[in-house]
Structure 1
Amino acid sequence: MPQPSDANIHGDVFGGWIMSQVDIAGAVIAARRAAGRVATVAVNAFVFKKPVFVGDLLSFYADIERVGRTSVTVSVVVYAERHRMDAEIVKVTEASVTYVATDEARQSRPLPPL
């Protein structure tokens, strides 16, 4: 849930705050598939469909789109629940982010087999 410090003077949440939360959600899924450390290497797409406001309850849904030799591309969709008494739910953001599996030296490494 975004706080007042995450918003501009008009009450709209900064896009950068949303991007960081999307990156965290995507990295969790990517790290599970990679069985370890991952690093963000590309933001392939990022669409802000509707504004996010202070007090919105956000839900992040991440799915693996593609798996390469060392990389995992994750799709993340964000929904906001507004006016919780009315339970209005709107899709606010869609993104595609690519992560690379890294070793202790922060060099890319192959993904383990499933």
Structure 2
Amino acid sequence: MTDATTSSALHPLGPRELVMRVMPMPADANNNGDIFGGWIMAQVDLAGSVLPARISRGRVATVAVNEFIFKQPVSIGDLLTFYATVVRVGRTSITVHVEVEAERNPADPQVVKVTQANLTYVAIDKEGKPRAFTRTG
């Protein structure tokens, strides 16, 4: 399944895959009770790296955050689910679209999209230099 909101310059190369689930805790919240945007960004970066690491069969580093959109606030107790889709594969880099959904209110469950982002990762060697990777499939 892909999302039509992916930037028109980027075209999905694969299915949307579940890559991570996490529940923010009170220590991740600001004084308004919402989860810090920086905490969410860090989680998106971790989730976004899963497919590039698998495809490149090794280390990857984030080289660009091409787009990051916060659609709704995230609260303590929301169960966040991260989905990733590969949208571009180059010789050493991979661009990924990440969507984050929140499951909230267990008494009357709701699932809402809270964040989406496009990030680019580069495959790196032991010295941290870009390396080409062998594509499979």
Give the aligned length.
114
| 2:123 corresponding residue in structure 1 | 101
Quick one: percent identity of the two aligned structures? 60
Write the deviation string for residues 64-89 of structure 1: whole angstroms up to 9, x where unpaired: 01001100000000000110121111
- For structure 2, the residue ranges without an aligned partner over 5 or more in a row are 1-22
* Distance in 1, Cα, partners of 2:61 & 2:134: 16
| 1:66 corresponding residue in structure 2 | 88
* Distance in 1, Cα, partners of 2:86 & 2:72: 24
TM-score, structure 1 length as denominator? 0.98
Amino acid at match of 2:107: M
TM-score, structure 2 length as denominator? 0.82
Q: Which runs of 4+ in 1 moved over 6 A?
A: none
* Distance in 1, Cα, partners of 2:63 & 2:26: 30
* Distance in 1, Cα, partners of 2:92 & 2:125: 11
2:84 counterpart SS class: strand
Cα distance, 1:8 vs structure 2: 0.7
Q: Report the aligned-residue RMSD.
A: 0.6
Where does 1:1-114 land on structure 2 (aligned, <5 Å)?
1-114=23-136
Amino acid at match of 2:80: L
